Amino acid sequence: MTASSLGEVATPRGGARRLTGWCRHQVAVAPNYTPGPGRPVDTGRVNLDAAVAVPLLAWVSSGLAAIALAPRNLAARALLGAATLLAASWFVETAAAGVRDETVTGALLRVGADALFLGGLAAAVAILVTFPHGRVERTWHRTVVLVMLALSVAGPVAQLLGSPTLRVGLDPATEIRNVVAVDGLAPLGALGGAVVASEQVWLLVGVAILTLRWGRGTSDERAELRPPLLSLMLLAVLLVVLAASSLTDMGIAFALFDPLFLVALALFPVVLLAGIARRTRGMERELAASRTRLIEAEDRARRQVERDLHDGVQQQLVAILSLTELAAHQARRDGEATAQTLSDVRDQVRTAISDLRELVHGIRPPVLEDSGVAAALESRMTRLPARVTLDVDDARRHRWPPETEAAAYFVVCEAVTNALKHAPGSAVRVAVTGDHTHLRVQVDDTGPGIVRSAQQGRGLAGLRDRVESLGGTFTVTGDRGTGTAVSAHFSLARLRS
């Protein structure tokens, strides 16, 4: 296979190269890459290469399957978005390669293909940022994706306005004069060109973020992120081999590894789909388990209330009743004994009233409903040792939905109880912050860190279920020696949805 025949093979697959950005670049800059005059004359028809169709179809069908499986998952949406944009860029590119006239159409097709391709890359980065749960873990991850999306439009538009010439991708053979360019905007065009040429770096940024997430993740999260990372590594190795073989004129190696690369490229979205599917099933299982736990917790709570009432107030009333009957019996003959019995009755009624008040407070303090979570916690603090401090900030001036306030209140009560029990002597700081958009409660102690006893584990799981069932997030941090921080955060925007 000669250098020019390699060019012949490579050129119609411009789209496939574009799929990677990187590979295209490597091949395009290969010294022996000569599109040359032998190149088939474009007819303007869309030339669907079967070999490129394989990864494209894999991407699009994986994207569709992911959306069908988890329609609200951002990673699934990004997968379908990336697949659609990359496929569209391939079609537009093929069409652009067929338009060699220096027309507005030729120019628009060229920058359009660039914009679609860059958008596809930004979506691919969005997948790597949100895979597999569909959440953006860090604000800067979101910023990176949004900047890429903005650049994917701004770069090509700048080129269209400023560049004197335009190509299909980086292929010099497809260069035409840009009839749209405005004189004097050449620097802008150069800037746009630089943005478009930076595309190889985009995917690397995505891979870097994925690697960072893997490095920071728990062992469970690492297990989830490992398949796409390995898959990306395979792609990288194949790319290097391909680039090396095209650089060193090893046509046979290229012919061998090119299909392998396409297969690996087709496998990548399938790996992503599998990860999203596993995650979705896991979430469904977790949802069912959490529902069961909530029901069990409610059952336990009811049993506790029944027991407290039965053994408490009900018995006190029985005792009081026996004493009133005794007093009535005594009154027939012994006034002094009657007075003594009645004073016992009074004492027991007082005890019963105060016990009942405590019990009601434990079930659901009325002040929570009447005056809000801040006031309820302030009232709760009066029953706790001084080493528990409360900082309610401006939260006192706001109210939230009753179930949110109740969840926040019980998170604090349980966490403080845990801290008092497991971190003896440690200072316990309760903080309530929030406004009309969110509510956050946090309990920090300076104790020995999380001790995962079974009972405490159940208590924490119960709180987590309660918070998450309201769309909030519940976190427990802290290791041995650093103290424990328990927090619950409720976003009202999410509550409404």
- Listed as own residue / partner, the contacts of 445-449 with beta carbons closer than 8 Å and 24 or more positions apart are 445/419, 445/483, 445/484, 446/483, 447/419, 447/422, 447/423, 447/483, 447/484, 448/422, 448/423, 448/480, 448/481, 448/483, 449/478, 449/479, 449/480, 449/481, 449/482, 449/483, 449/484
Which DSSP string corresponds to 263-281?
Answer: HHHHHHHHHHHHHHHHHHH
Residue closer to other proteins, measured from CB, 32 or 348: 348
Q: Tell me whether strands 388-391 and 473-477 are parallel, antiparallel or unpaired.
A: unpaired
Q: Does 349 bind other proteins (CB under 8 A)?
A: no
The nearest distance, CB 322 to other proteins, in angstroms, is: 4
Q: Tell me which amino acid residue 303 is.
A: R
Stretch that binds other proteins, among 172-180, 216-224, 235-243, 312-320 (CB under 8 A): 312-320
Stretch that binds other proteins, among 134-142, 311-319, 358-366, 478-486 (CB under 8 A): 311-319
Specify whether the backbone of 184 is left (phi greater than 0), alpha (psi in -120 to 50) or beta.
left
Stretch that binds other proteins, among 225-233, 240-248, 314-322, 411-419 (CB under 8 A): 314-322
**Residue 272 CB contacts under 8 Å (≥ 6 apart), including other chains:** 62, 66, 75, 79, 127, 131, 132, 228
Residue closer to other proteins, measured from CB, 223 or 321: 321
The nearest distance, CB 340 to other proteins, in angstroms, is: 10
The nearest distance, CB 303 to other proteins, in angstroms, is: 11
Residue closer to other proteins, measured from CB, 285 or 310: 310
Binding mask 315-344 for other proteins (x = CB under 8 A): xx-xxxxxxxxx--xx----------x---
* Chosen residue from 143, 314, 437, 482 binding other proteins by CB under 8 A: 314
Residue closer to other proteins, measured from CB, 348 or 371: 348
Q: With contacts defined by CB under 8 A, how many residues of the chain interact with other proteins?
A: 18
What is the spatial distance between Cα 91 and Cα 252, in angstroms, rounded to a whole number?
Answer: 28
Other Cβ atoms closer than 10 A to 182: 12
Q: Does 453 bind other proteins (CB under 8 A)?
A: no
> Hey, which residues does 432 pair with through a beta bridge?
441
The nearest distance, CB 460 to other proteins, in angstroms, is: 28
What is the spatial distance between Cα 207 and Cα 219, in angstroms, rounded to a whole number?
Answer: 19
What is the spatial distance between Cα 417 and Cα 424, in angstroms, rounded to a whole number?
Answer: 11
Q: Does 303 bind other proteins (CB under 8 A)?
A: no
The nearest distance, CB 356 to other proteins, in angstroms, is: 15
Per CB under 8 A, residues contacting other proteins are: 310-311, 314-316, 318-326, 329-330, 341, 348
